[in-house]
Amino acid sequence: MKLVLLSLALIVISGCASTIPREISKAPDNAIDIHVANADIERVRGETVRWGGEVVTVENRVNDTWIEVVARPLAANGRPTDGKSRGRFWATFSGFQEPSDFPEGQQLTIYGSIIGSATEKIGKFPYTYAVIDVEQFHLWPKLQRYDNGSPFYYPGYWRHPLYPHHSSIYFHSGLHRPW
């Protein structure tokens, strides 16, 4: 009986485990800002960073894949927020990455080492990107916004009466439905 209970407890605990890599969910001690890296890449070459944002383009090259990312501020868990752009960077993956796995606008957080810079044009403006060799990454599920129309009640969710203007609820797509 004890073995059955122990097995059941392990199954329940493993079901609650996060699929987000530790390097992504935990902020590094030596957080390097993207502006600092883009301004003086030689000073930060070899440093590890945890950056994230939204995918712009995916380029499969001969031996690797380069993903252009518009950097956004990160939440404590590593998820990019809707804050103002902090710049751009290239995330490089060894080998082939399927471009359809990284659609435009997809939120992505990477952990890796700064290996250099690349200058390319955005429109006609030359822009210098930091280039990151990706060791770990996490694609975040899209959040869908549902407006419940009521500032105080939504089935399964409690609203604080002092904040009635907070009537929007966000769900991970495919996980919860409001109906």
Per-residue pLDDT of the chain (179 residues; tens, 9 = 90+): 555 555 555 555 544 555 888 888 888 888 899 988 988 899 999 999 999 999 999 999 999 999 999 999 999 899 999 889 999 999 999 999 999 999 999 999 999 999 999 999 999 999 999 999 999 999 999 876 655 555 554 455 555 555 555 555 555 555 444 44
Say if residue 126 is in the same domain as residue 150. Answer: no
User: Are residue 90 and residue 153 in the same domain, yes or no?
Assistant: no
The verdict on residue 10 lying in a domain is no
User: 80 and 165 share a domain?
Assistant: no
Task: Record the pTM.
Answer: 0.73
Say if residue 103 is in the same domain as residue 155: no
Is residue 26 a part of any domain in this protein?
yes
The answer to whether residue 14 sits within a structural domain is no
Residue 84's domain comprises: 20-139
Both 101 and 54 in one domain: the answer is: yes
The b-or-e profile of 33-67 (16+ CB within 10 A means b, else e) is ebeebbeebeebeeebbbbbbbbbebeeeeeebbb
d(C-alpha 29, C-alpha 46), whole Å: 15
Q: Are 86 and 73 in contact (CB under 8 A)?
A: yes
